[in-house]
Amino acid sequence: MADIPSLMNFGMNLLQWLPQFLFILQILVYLGFISFFGWIVMLGYRTYSSYSVKFILKFGFGFVSLVCGIGISDGVSGFLNFNEGLGTLLRFAQADVFAGGVVSSVVLSLAVFLITRNIYNIGGLEKAIKKLEQRLEKARRAEKSKLLKNPGFLLGVAVFFGFIVFSVSGFRGFPNFSERIFQEAGISPQEITDLFGSVQNQKSDCVSPLVLFQFHSKELMNGKAEVYENQNVKDMFERESGENIKVMYRLDYQGEEYILGITESKMCSSSEKGFCSCFEFGNL
C-alpha cells in the first residue's frame, strides 16, 4: 500500500532534480542527433580521408545539421501538423527538431557529394594503398599458419564468448523504467490508478479524501484541525471502509463543509448529503 509521506518526499526530490535531469537528457539527445545527422551527411562524402578526419567532419557536419534543423523546425512542424493533438507531445519529445535535422542533413549530404566527388586526396590514397599492401602481405603469411594455433585468436574467442555467457547469466529481462519509478516512490501502478480515480470519479457535491488531506495537511499534521464526533457518520464510514475509524475531522473546502475520517489504512470523506469515497493509503 502507498506510503503518503514517502510518496510526497519522492515527489519533492523528483521536482528538485528535474531541471538538472532534463538538462542532461537534452545534452544526450542532442549528441545523439549530431551523431545521426553527421552520419547522413557523411554518406555523401567522397574524398578519401583518415578515420580521425572523418570523425571530426561527422560531428562538425552533424552540429551544422542540428543548427539548421532547429532553424527550420517551425516550418517542418507546421507541414507535419505538429502544432495540435499528438503533435504537441511529439514537439515536446523534440520530434520537430529531429525531422528538421533529417531534412537538413539530407540536403547537406547532397551538397557535400557534389563538392567532394572530384576532390582527390592523393597523399592519403598513397598512404592507404601502402597500408593495404602491408595488410595483404600479413594476411598471406597468416593464411599459411593455423588460426587455432594462434594464441591471440584463441584469447579473443575466449574473451568474446566468456563475457557473453557471464553477462547473459545475470540477465533478468529488459528494465522497466516505469516500474523502477513506482518502486522508488513505494507505490504500484494500480495504486496510481486508484489515486487518480479517487480524485476524478467524484460526485458533483463531493471531494476526494486525498484532496481534503492535501488541502489541510498543515492543520492535520500539526494537530490543529477540528476534531469531529458523530456516531452516525462514524458508523457510515466504518460500514463503507470495513475498518474502525480512529478519528474524524470537520474540514472546509471551497466554502463547503466536509468530514474526513481516518482508519488504520484508509481515509474517507463525506459531505452534508452523504458518503463520498475512501482512499487506501497504508499506515502513516
pTM of the model: 0.52
Q: What is the pLDDT of residues 36-73, one digit of tens each?
A: 999 999 999 888 888 888 899 999 999 999 999 888 87
Sheet strand arrangement including 266-271: 226-227, 247-253, 256-262, 266-271, 274-280
Q: Give yes or no for a contact between 265 and 280, defined as CB atoms under 8 angstroms apart.
A: yes
pLDDT for 1 beyond 60: no
Reported confidence tier of residue 283, pLDDT bands at 50, 70, 90: very low
What angle, rounded to 10 degrees, do the helices at 4-42 and 177-185 form?
150
CA–CA separation, 225 and 219 (whole Å): 5
Q: What is the pLDDT of residues 213-252, one digit of tens each?
A: 888 888 888 888 889 988 888 889 888 888 898 989 999 8
Q: What is the pLDDT of residues 137-174, one digit of tens each?
A: 877 776 656 666 777 778 888 888 888 888 788 767 76
Q: Spell out the long-range contacts of 128-132 with Cβ–Cβ below 8 A and sequence spacing 24 or more.
A: 128/48
- Residue 173 vs residue 108, higher pLDDT: 108
CA–CA separation, 249 and 222 (whole Å): 13
Of the candidates 193, 214, 212, which has an alpha carbon nearest to the alpha carbon of residue 259?
A: 212
Reported confidence tier of residue 16, pLDDT bands at 50, 70, 90: low
β-pair type (274-280, 226-227): unpaired
